[in-house]
Structure 1
Amino acid sequence: MSTGARPTARAALAVAAVLGIAALVVVAVRTPWTLLPEPAGGYTEPDPAAGLSAVQLDRAEAFAAALRPASLLSLLLGLAVSALLGLTRLGSRVVGSVGDRVGGRWWVQVLLGVPALILAGRLVTLPVAAYAEMIRHRFGLSTRGWGLWLRDVAVSVAISAALTALIVLSVLWLVRRAPRTWWAWSGLAAVVLVVVGSFLYPVVIEPAFNRFESLPAGALRTDLLALAEVNGTPVQDVLVSDASRRTTALNAYVSGFGSTRRVVLYDTLLDRLPDEEIESIVAHELGHVATDDVLTGTLMGALGAGAATALAGWLLSWAPLLRRAGAGSPGDPRVVALALFLVTAGGLVGTPVQNVVSRQIEARADLHALDLTRDPEAFIAMQRRLASTNLGDPDPPVAWHWFFGSHPTTAQRIAMAEDWQRLEGRR
């Protein structure tokens, strides 16, 4: 590292620390750590079976036992391939090779090299993904034919490759234009990108995988629109997604902001759940809107992205690491594989932290649904039906849930609803 580069690297590390601390402060302040006061007699102990029948419980546990090894293997393979490409000269050779075939200009190497690296990683994990899809077929959760499955994989890879290539191209352009401060400009761009992406996702990405139609006029549509109004978060429309083309799973969500905000129902809900249970699901999703969870998540993501970019500025100024990856400088297109590895490793390290926050936020949305609908029986029935149909393990292993669980377990959600019911009965 040159003498002039040392102050720049130290500045990048300092900014990464400041932004990281700011992100932790937002997490600490905005995460709802305490939700319900303790009822008389103490909190309800979650029932590991969550009220499911023995047959339902056995089926959910068998599905989870079959799928978990595939999920873990896919994660480890993806990380291993990313490390192999990023921490050896193999990745730089891939980028250089595809670029040399069409003139070797740095921007061409990036635009072709990034998709090549992403495709290589996806091809390695593809057999495991196919095996996981076979498990979903075996248990009746997936309705996709293999043609549609391959189409979904191809579209997902294409979108990921295109967006990543454009982002990396922009970053390397900044490195070349502002070699001392590129990490600061890139961090600012990352913050803006996270915010803009949150707004555009429902109108740009979602339609690439599903078709949406407005829910026909009727009691359910009227009730859902009214529920949103009572919640203080009116929506523009209630849409039905053609999810049954891919799955038998039940779900609903609210996406977008302002003029793009809409309630989206899986079409699988309409024939399988009574209206009051659908309203309970939607009330949960409206809870996220009422408490600005998307905006909070966007802020956390933006600060995290800025911190990660500044940290990358520090790491990519370390000459031994660049030499190991076969790159001459942070602006060398051969650094791409190393940069992608750093993103992958950082995402893995951040996963349990994100999920700790997510579980608390989801629990608050459950509480909001109970407050909004005043119907704990429908909420509990809905949770059991979701667990039974979606084959969710109501009481997964503690370590697995700590790392991968983005929602409270079914057992925990039902226990909280029972506590809410006891507290409301006392008032």
Structure 2
Amino acid sequence: MTITSFMLAAAAAAPAFDAEAATQAYLSTLQGAARVKSDAYFEGGYWLPLWGALVAIVSYWLMLRFRWSAKWSAWAGRVTKRRWLQPGLYSIPFALVGALITLPWTIYVSYVREHQYGLSNQSFAEWAKELGIATGVGLVVGVIFFIILYAVIRKSPKRWWLWGTGAVTALLAVMIMLAPLFIEPLFNKYTPMQAGPVRDEILRIAHEQKIPANDVYVVDASKQTKRISANVAGLGPTIRIALNDNLLNRSNIHGIKAVMGHEMGHYKLYHIQKLLAYLAVMALIGFAIVAWAAPRILARHGEQWGVREVADPASAPLLQGLLTVLLVPAGILFNSIIRHHESEADAFGLNAAQEPDGFAMTAMQLSEYRKIEPAAWEEMLFYDHPSGRTRVKMAMDWKAAHLGELPPDQRAPMVMTPDKPAE
């Protein structure tokens, strides 16, 4: 028998596999109260960006209306005569007061709502401590950002939007590079994974994909949340492969390999670099609109606000408010960009890990807090990841197309769960 005829005979003998039926079998595992809860949580989140933008705009309006912003700018001018430093000083009360005004909203979204749906493991004290750390990091970044932005505005009043885009993009790139080393460890402990089959399989896939990493780290995310997650973070020398302990404890080796293959896809497909490019374009458009609108608004209202010009740090609430308005529609576009990247990483991960049922199982776990079967318009407008149904269907279509490449015990239709990996 020739090799070709042998392969044809093997394919004919393989069990029939219906990708749509297999998809429905997975989807049927999320039913009843659990599905209602998942849908309610995710649908409630549709309006959070809009309400969050309105809360932020109100805070900026208060700063201008009661001339707090002008007073902070004057205070910074009294503290130092170095004009380049004044915006950095101004940013401190600007950030602190803004955080205080929006604190009730922050508490509701990040603490109360997460506990209502059983997704958080933190006490209020633990949550507040991390909020304090995040606020401190934000203050440092804000000082740097304000110094750079207003230096650009002073040096080039007519083209600051162009040079400002370059400065912001460079700052974002530095933040992405430094975050794994200096920021993320402020919130979580990263521990090298112990030697064993799981670590060996992750590194095997990484090395097959020529990812320059020889360690895998476990993040103690269970102290904060019940969500599963992983990433290949950093740029250049700061690259790091990590998975959280929820994924390690709630999944099996099939699901872990599927997730890590997906995350490696983001790295290999240069999604971080592409997102930086997209953000740069969006910043360019946003800054250009703000540069056009802000002087016109100040000409009409600047005197009553005590704001002389765009180059005055006191203009920050106006600039931020305009950007916040623009971010609402931009967020929909950005969701589509990220969703496309996630779909690309899904396809990459299926090819790299060859774990379609592990991938489908993980998609079902993620659907514990993501509406699993949205309408097409919902997925287009509100999803920054493919829906659970989309992901399970992709995995089952991949399985149907590559059935002969899988181990014999994984070719038949099955519903894989963490405690029943191959049934």
May I ask how many residue pairs the two structures share in their alignment?
A: 385
Aligned residue among 95, 99, 108 for 1:122: 99
Q: Distance in 2 between matches of 1:334 and 1:143?
A: 40
Determine the structure 2 residue equivalent to 1:13: none
What code does the residue aligned with 2:92 have? Answer: P
Q: Mapping of 1:96-175 within 5 angstroms?
A: 96=73, 98-99=75-76, 102=79, 109-132=86-109, 133-175=111-153
Cα offset for 1:233?
Answer: 2.1
Compared CA separation, residues 185 and 226, structure 1 to 2 (3 A)? same
Structure 1 gaps, min length 5: 1-40
Note the aligned Cα RMSD (angstroms).
3.2
Contact 1:194 1:302 (C-alpha < 8 Å) held by counterparts? no
Q: 3-state DSSP class of the match of 2:242? A: strand
What code does the residue aligned with 1:121 have? Answer: G
2:358 maps to 1:381:
no
Q: Mapping of 1:6-155 within 5 angstroms?
A: 50-51=27-28, 52-64=30-42, 72-85=50-63, 88=65, 90=67, 92-96=69-73, 98-99=75-76, 102=79, 109-132=86-109, 133-155=111-133
TM-score (norm 1): 0.79
Q: 3-state DSSP class of the match of 2:27? A: coil
Determine the structure 1 residue equivalent to 2:337: 357
Q: Which moved more, 1:313-322 or 1:232-241?
A: 313-322
Structure 2 gaps, min length 5: 1-17, 406-423
Cα offset for 1:222?
Answer: 1.0
Aligned residue among 176, 186, 190 for 1:212: 190
Q: Distance in 2 between matches of 1:317 and 1:72?
A: 26
Q: Which moved more, 1:58-67 or 1:360-369?
A: 58-67
2:408 maps to 1:423:
no
Determine the structure 2 residue equivalent to 1:367: 347
Q: Distance in 1 between matches of 2:215 and 2:31?
A: 37
Q: Distance in 2 between matches of 1:48 and 1:75?
A: 40
Deviations 1:278-304 (A, max 9, x none): 110010011111211111112222333
Q: Distance in 2 between matches of 1:171 and 1:47?
A: 52
Q: 3-state DSSP class of the match of 2:102? A: helix
- Between structure 1 and structure 2, the one with the greater Rg is 2
Deviations 1:323-352 (A, max 9, x none): 275422222222122122233223323111
Deviations 1:39-82 (A, max 9, x none): xx999998699331324213323434566666653343123323
Compared CA separation, residues 322 and 232, structure 1 to 2 (3 A)? farther
Deviations 1:177-209 (A, max 9, x none): 444554443333223223323322222221221
Compared CA separation, residues 303 and 135, structure 1 to 2 (3 A)? closer
TM-score (norm 2): 0.80
Q: Mapping of 1:270-281 within 5 angstroms?
A: 270-281=248-259
Higher RCO (CA-CA < 8 Å; seq separation 6+): 1
Cα offset for 1:306?
Answer: 3.8
Q: Distance in 2 between matches of 1:177 and 1:315?
A: 19
Contact 2:247 2:256 (C-alpha < 8 Å) held by counterparts? yes
Compared CA separation, residues 185 and 70, structure 1 to 2 (3 A)? closer
Q: Distance in 2 between matches of 1:329 and 1:48?
A: 62
Q: Distance in 1 between matches of 2:85 and 2:166?
A: 25
Give the % identical residues. 25
Cα offset for 1:103?
Answer: 6.5
